[in-house]
């Protein structure tokens, strides 16, 4: 067997609209939740980000130079349908249509994420986000508009970024108002169910409108190690993985709630309400399983009680792993855990898997030579690519590609420009926009070599 990546393997980067575009009030865009949601006063806001709305030609050229053949970006729903329930904004459609055409012209395959934690503010203010089935229907219409306008050129689609997070926090569903008299956990899992239905409606739309295109389900996957080798600690870590990661992967793959999750929810009185067509809708399954991976976690011994949702209990039992190094934000570096995750998802789903986010955040600024010597980033990606190759060659994992997060610096998800992931430095801070110049880091040359060699030259 040839120990090489497939010739059609994807190499590239992922971003979100609100972390890149800026142009808050331009192009007919409506008000979105990120325009009004407060940020940490020490950080920045989303009004400019890295101004990709005006500078994407430059960014595409940099991606092409790095050897990218794939780029996953999200669409800002408010650019397409400004209030979520009103007329299509043709100027917004043109912006994304032009972006897609220029990516393809550069030899870069585009992938669309329909929702990356973002939505029109009107749907949040008046309907409490995905707590409302009206918003689910609005999302289906938005998905169909995007498929109609871009589906002739875009062959890879996903509904929700890191969809399993919708079962852990209401913020990403923009459904943070818990109705009076409703148990907060029951509300959380009902919202999570509504997101499942929105996802399934988008899959159905793609099957009807562009049957040759592919749709994935995407999770943020963190594997768990038991802190001690006791049977109880091992069981707790296994349960945590099923609830936090397996639940959504199983629904994406098999089109129904897995038995362990039905038992978990019914035992606590948290089983969501299924409307008439929900069971049939969930049967619209995916073509492959996509995921983000940054780190692993270690858990002390614990139990899942009947009062709090699973993510709260997992958070209380997470401790530092003494065997792993970590970055400033305590995200532990674990390339072998990445290999474990690739194997687990492939064996669980019997589908191809696709790495849609991987990378390491670091606090950086230009040095006296006007660059960034980010050897730690080179080491991180080198080790993860090697372990991905091991999973593919040694264990037979069918992996479609390796896509990095934020390949050109962007504000991190909490709007902090200090936490950088890119191979290209963007010259701004949280409070000073400077000139927004794009400046290659040391890792730029390394990733160019790695990607252009199809993962063969990692030295």
Q: Is 201 among the domain residues? A: yes
Question: Residue 291 has which token pair?
Answer: 């995921």
Q: Is 219 among the domain residues? A: yes
Give the list of residues 6+ apart from residue 431 with CB closer than 8 angstroms, or none: 44
- Per residue in 7-49, pLDDT (tens digit) is 999 999 999 999 999 999 999 999 999 999 999 999 999 999 9
Start-end of H helices in 151-258: 184-209, 231-241, 247-254
* Cα(72)–Cα(90) distance, integer angstroms: 22
pLDDT of residue 1 exceeding 80, the answer is no
Percent of the chain with pLDDT over 90: 99
User: Phi first, then psi: what are they for 344, rounded to 5°?
Assistant: -65, -45
Which SS3 state, helix, strand or coil, does residue 268 take? helix
Range of the domain at 126: 10-452
- Per residue in 89-118, pLDDT (tens digit) is 999 999 999 999 999 999 999 999 999 999
- Per residue in 380-410, pLDDT (tens digit) is 999 999 999 999 999 999 999 999 999 999 9
Percent of the chain with pLDDT over 70: 100
Q: Which of 162, 332, 344, 364 is catalytic?
A: 162
Tell me the average pLDDT of the chain: 98
Here the CATH number for the domain that contains residue 352 is 3.20.20.80
Q: Which of 21, 109, 344, 357 is catalytic?
A: 357
Q: What is the pLDDT of residue 263?
A: 98
Start-to-end CA span in the chain (Å): 23
* Cα(33)–Cα(41) distance, integer angstroms: 17
Q: 457: pLDDT confidence band, cut at 50, 70 and 90?
A: very high
Q: Is 457 among the domain residues? A: no
Is residue 176 part of the annotated active site? The answer reads: no
Q: What is the pLDDT of residue 2?
A: 72
Q: Is 459 among the domain residues? A: no
* Cα(9)–Cα(426) distance, integer angstroms: 28
Q: Is 4 among the domain residues? A: no
Length of the chain as a residue count: 459
Q: 128: pLDDT confidence band, cut at 50, 70 and 90?
A: very high
The mean per-residue pLDDT over the stretch 335-351 comes to: 98
| Number of other CB atoms surrounding residue 216 within 10 Å | 24
The mean per-residue pLDDT over the stretch 350-354 comes to: 98
Q: How many domains does the chain have?
A: 1
pLDDT of residue 250 exceeding 90, the answer is yes
Q: Is 3 among the domain residues? A: no
pLDDT of residue 331 exceeding 60, the answer is yes
Start-end of H helices in 106-153: 121-127, 133-150
Is residue 316 part of the annotated active site? The answer reads: no
User: Rounded to the nearest 5 degrees, what angle is found at the Cα of 161, between the Cα atoms of 376 and 158?
Assistant: 120
- Cβ(206)–Cβ(224) below 8 Å: no
For residue 158, what are the β-bridge partners? 113, 216
For residue 74, what are the β-bridge partners? 113
pTM of the model: 0.97
Place of tokens 């898997």: 353
Q: 3: pLDDT confidence band, cut at 50, 70 and 90?
A: confident
Q: Is 91 among the domain residues? A: yes
């Amino acid at each position: 067997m040839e120990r090489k990546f497939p010739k059609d393997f994807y190499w590239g980067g992922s971003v979100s609209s609100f972390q890149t575009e800026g142009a808050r009030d331009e192009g007919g865009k409506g008000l979105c939740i990120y325009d009004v949601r407060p940020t940490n006063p020490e950080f920045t806001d989303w009004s400019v980000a890295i101004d990709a709305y005006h500078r994407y030609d430059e960014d595409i050229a940099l991606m092409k130079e790095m050897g990218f053949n794939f780029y996953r970006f999200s669409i800002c729903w408010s650019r397409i349908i400004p209030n979520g329930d009103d007329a299509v904004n043709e100027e917004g459609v043109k912006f994304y249509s032009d972006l897609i055409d220029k990516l393809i012209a550069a030899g870069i395959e585009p992938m669309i994420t329909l929702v990356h934690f973002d939505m029109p503010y009107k749907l949040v203010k008046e309907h409490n986000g995905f707590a409302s089935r009206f918003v689910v229907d609005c999302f289906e219409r938005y998905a169909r508009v995007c498929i109609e306008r871009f589906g002739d050129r875009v062959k890879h689609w996903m509904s929700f970024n890191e969809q399993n997070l919708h079962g852990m926090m209401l913020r990403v569903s923009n459904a943070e108002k818990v109705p009076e008299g409703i148990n907060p956990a029951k509300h959380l899992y009902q919202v999570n169910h509504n997101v499942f239905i929105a996802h399934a409606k988008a899959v159905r739309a793609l099957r009807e409108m562009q049957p040759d295109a592919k749709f994935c389900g995407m999770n943020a996957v963190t594997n768990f190690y038991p802190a001690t080798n006791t049977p109880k600690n091992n069981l707790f870590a296994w349960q945590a993985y099923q609830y936090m990661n397996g639940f959504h992967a199983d629904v994406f793959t098999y089109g129904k709630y897995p038995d362990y999750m039905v038992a978990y929810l019914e035992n606590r009185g948290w089983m969501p309400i299924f409307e008439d067509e929900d069971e049939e809708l969930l049967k619209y399954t995916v073509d492959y399983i996509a995921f983000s991976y940054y780190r692993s976690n270690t858990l002390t011994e614990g139990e899942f009680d009947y009062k709090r949702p699973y993510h709260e209990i997992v958070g209380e039992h997470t401790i530092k792993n003494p065997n792993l190094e970590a970055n400033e934000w305590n995200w532990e570096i674990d390339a072998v855990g990445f290999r474990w995750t690739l194997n687990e998802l492939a064996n669980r789903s019997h589908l191809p898997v696709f790495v849609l986010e991987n990378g390491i955040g670091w606090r950086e600024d230009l040095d006296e030579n006007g660059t960034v010597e980010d050897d730690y980033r080179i080491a991180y990606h080198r080790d993860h690519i090697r372990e991905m190759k091991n999973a593919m060659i040694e264990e037979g994992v069918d992996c479609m590609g390796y896509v990095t997060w934020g390949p050109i610096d962007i504000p991190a998800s909490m709007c902090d420009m200090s936490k950088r992931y890119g191979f290209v430095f963007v010259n701004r801070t949280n409070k000073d926009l400077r000139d927004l110049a794009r400046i290659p880091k040391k890792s730029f040359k390394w990733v160019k070599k790695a990607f252009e060699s199809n993962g063969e030259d990692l030295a």
